[in-house]
Amino acid sequence: MADPTAQRIWNTALGQLQLHVTRPNYDTWLKETEGLRVEPGNFVVGVPTEFVKEWLATRMRSLVAQVVGAILGRPTEVAFELLGRNGHQNGHQEATLPLASAATPVQTVITSPATPPRLNPRYTFQNFVVAESNRMAAAAACRAAESPGVDYNPLFIYSTPGLGKTHLLQAIAQRATQRKQVALYLTSEQFTNDFVTAIAQGRSDEFRRRHRSPQLLLIDDIQFLAGKVRTQEEFFYTFNDLHSNGCQVVVAGDRPPASISGLEGRLCSRFQWGLVTDIQPPDTETRLAILKAKAADQRVDLPQNVAQLLAERAPDNIRELEGLLNRVLAYANLIHVPVTLDCAARALTALKPAVATPLDPNSLLEAVGAYYGIPIPALTGKSRARPIAEARHTAMYLLREDAQLALKQVGLLLGHRDHSTVIHGVQKVAKALASDPRLSAQLADIRNAAANNNHH
Ligand code: ADP
Ligand code: MG
């Protein structure tokens, strides 16, 4: 079983990784991964296939280690481990009931039809906080799930990223599935890929059967259909077919249909047949309510002042808001302190330079010297007096982590020390960091100072 702390840390890491890799790369390599365990000096990530494992291990190991290390506040290695084949370790469910299995006799197909994406079990109506900014969309979504094809058909929901579109679409799918309806949730990219693959393999009939049999079709991120003429054509027929059979169609996009350039007129006008509604960024009240709900979900009592601090930091994006909360909870959990304003503030600064550009080594040395009040010649000199040695260890740690120097270079800069001395110093600081939250706040101050006198 994955441990919840590891999962939380990994969710935070994924949030940051998303900002550093392209969307297709994220979807291909990172989306299906899970945080399994925190071990001393090592973080274990579960991956779905051997292929993904190899790719991540060779291409992304250091980025991942850096991001996780920043969250943990200490240097960390990462290991990738294969998840059990059927191991939906965190209880993901399939998006649909088995589809058309009677209609499709058992075949020995080489490439099995694309499996529908797994739904996030947390994306339910119950977990969706309804407020002024999303009331209309939430009500319409609920209605679509409970009386598919009756009122708003199609339903088109749009907003800027991170405001709950995917959450609502998946909530519809899960509610419908509970009600023994067949719901198919797909992003427009998956629809495209399925379609292209089906054509290439001469299995377009099967594709049609699959996409035209559900009682609810939920298409996410429709904007990615822009410019894809043949897929749009297929989607148009699919839509007509389903709609005329009373199937509920729900579509989410990043803007209203008429503003998606590269979307065919006839498709655009179909989307406007039903209800087009938006989700607005949440106001402060709503952000606070969402934070409270998410914390309660994790059985954490979130103090009001902490909630306020977080709500101020992520004004227009609930995904970021959640990311901040997860960081703070992971941090508090890791160092075994209650979630206080002080701890939250530290967590946010300690985590800030996640994947920053390397700091300049000389600026760092200067900042360390200034912070501890020790002249640079003393730092690089022979004295082993306690305060000097401590400052020197800190310098080693920061030169290694933040300036990303090789051990050898660190040794050279600090008065020709050998590489085992440097390892020793770095480890000492890393260990201290794990038990002393004050230290990470100090390091954050030194980093800030170094960044400010980055004059080289
Ligand atoms: P979008 O698809 O619009 O980019 P998502 O549906 O992925 O946004 O939402 C981003 C995150 O914010 C998700 O984790 C989701 O659960 C959460 N979220 C968004 N709106 C709400 C809400 N009203 N209540 C609770 N969580 C929400
Ligand atoms: Mg989305």
pLDDT the model gives residue 386: 85
User: Is 164 a pocket residue for ligand 1 (Cβ < 6 Å)?
Assistant: yes
Cα 290 to middle of ligand 2, angstroms: 17
- CATH for 76: 3.30.300.180
Q: What's the pLDDT tens digit per position in 413-433?
A: 999 999 899 999 999 998 888
How far apart (Å, rounded) are the C-alpha atoms in residues 171 and 144? Answer: 11
Q: Is the pLDDT of residue 126 over 80?
A: yes
- Least Cα distance to 103 among 94, 113, 111, 116 occurs for 113
Whether residue 119 has its Cβ less than 6 Å from ligand 1: no
Whole-number Å distance, alpha carbon 357 to ligand 2 midpoint, is 29
In a domain, 356, yes or no: no
The residue whose CA has the least distance to atom 13 of ligand 1 is 319
What is the average pLDDT value for the chain, to the nearest integer?
85
| Most confident range, picked from 41-50, 85-94, 160-169 | 160-169
Q: What pLDDT, on a 0 to 100 scale, did the predictor assign at position 235?
A: 92
d(CA 298, CA 301): 9
What pairs with residue 39 in β-bridges?
42
Query: Is residue 97 domain-shared with residue 225, that is, in the same domain?
Result: yes
- Is the pLDDT at 118 greater than 80? The verdict is no
Taking the CA of 135 as reference, the closest ligand is 1
Pair (369, 335) in one structural domain:
no
Mutate to test the pocket of ligand 1, among 318, 322, 324, 325 (most ligand atoms within 8 A of CB): 318
**What is the tens place of the pLDDT at every residue in 151-170?**
899 999 999 999 999 999 99
Within this chain, do residues 266 and 299 fall inside the same structural domain, yes or no? no
* Within a domain: 172: yes
Largest CA distance in the chain: 84
161 C-beta closer than 6 A to ligand 1: yes
Q: Are residues 369 and 416 in the same domain?
A: yes
Lowest mean pLDDT of 4-8, 172-176, 397-401, name the range: 4-8
- What is the rounded distance in angstroms from the CA atom of residue 351 to the CA atom of residue 13? 11
Is residue 134 one of the residues assigned to a domain? yes
Q: Considering 82, 108, 129, which residue would you say is the last residue of a domain?
A: 82
Output the CA 196–ligand 1 centroid distance in Å.
Answer: 30
With respect to residue 74, please indicate whether it lies within any of the assigned structural domains. Answer: yes
Q: Based on the domain organization, do 169 and 274 belong to the same domain?
A: yes
Ligand nearest to the CA of 165: 1
Domain boundary residue among 278, 312, 340? Answer: 278
Are residues 70 and 185 both part of a single domain? no
User: Which residue has a Cα nearest atom 5 of ligand 1?
Assistant: 164
Could you write out the three-class secondary structure of 263-283? CCHHHHHHHCCCEEEECCCCC
How remote is the CA of residue 376 from the centroid of ligand 2, in Å?
51
Judge if the beta carbon of residue 129 lies within 6 A of ligand 1: yes
Domain count, the chain: 4
In 153-217, which ranges are continuous DSSP H helix? Answer: 165-178, 188-200, 204-212
In this structure, how many other beta carbons lie within 10 angstroms of the beta carbon of residue 220?
23
Specify the residue with its C-alpha closest to ligand 1, atom 14: 319
Are 272 and 214 contained in the same domain? yes
Judge whether 355 lies within some domain.
Answer: no
Lowest mean pLDDT among 113-122, 260-269, 439-448: 113-122
Residues 180 and 326 in one domain: no
* Confidence check: pLDDT of 147 > 90: yes
Per-residue pLDDT at 119 exceeds 90: no
- Cα of first residue to Cα of last residue in the chain, in angstroms, is 49
For residue 26, is it within any domain?
yes
Are residues 196 and 319 part of one domain?
no
| Same domain, residue pair 31 and 104 | no
Answer whether 437's CB lies under 8 Å from 334's CB.
no
Instruction: Ligand 1, residue 138: give the atom nearest the CA.
Output: 23
Counting atoms of ligand 1 from 1, which one is nearest the CA of 161? 4
State in Å: Cα 169 to ligand 1 middle: 10
What are φ and ψ of residue 66, in 5° steps?
A: -65, -45
Q: What is the pLDDT of residues 180-201, one digit of tens each?
A: 999 999 989 888 888 888 888 8
Please determine, for residue 353, whether its predicted confidence score (pLDDT) is greater than 60. no
Range of the domain at 340: 284-350
- Provide the CATH number for the domain around residue 411: 1.10.1750.10
Nearest CA to ligand 1 atom 21: 164
Residue 194 CA to ligand 2 centre (angstroms): 19
Pocket test for ligand 1, best of 163, 287, 294 (most atoms within 8 A of CB): 163
Q: How confident is the model at residue 101 (pLDDT cuts 50, 70, 90)?
A: very low
Query: Is 68 near ligand 1, meaning CB less than 6 Å away?
Result: no
Tell me the mean pLDDT in the region 220-242. Answer: 91
Ligand 1, atom 26, residue with closest C-alpha: 128
Give the Cβ contact number of residue 362 at 10 Å. 16
Higher-scoring residue by pLDDT: 21, 120: 120
47 in any annotated domain: yes
Q: How confident is the model at residue 133 (pLDDT cuts 50, 70, 90)?
A: very high
347 touches 326 (CB < 8 A): no
Pick from 60-74, 109-123, 277-291, 439-453 the range whose average pLDDT is largest. 277-291
Query: Do 259 and 131 share a structural domain?
Result: yes
pLDDT at 112: 36
* CATH number of the domain residue 334 falls in: 1.10.8.60
CB of 12 closer than 8 Å to CB of 323: yes
Question: Does residue 266 sit in the same domain as residue 141?
Answer: yes
pLDDT for res 91: 37
- Looking at residue 373, its pLDDT comes to 85
Structural domain contains residue 383:
yes
pLDDT in tens, 289-329: 999 999 998 889 999 999 999 999 888 889 889 989 988 99
pLDDT tier at 27, thresholds 50, 70, 90 = confident
What single DSSP character describes residue 99? P
Confidence of residue 115 (pLDDT cuts 50, 70, 90): low
What is the residue type of 107? Q
Of 57, 82, 107, which residue constitutes the final position of a domain? 82
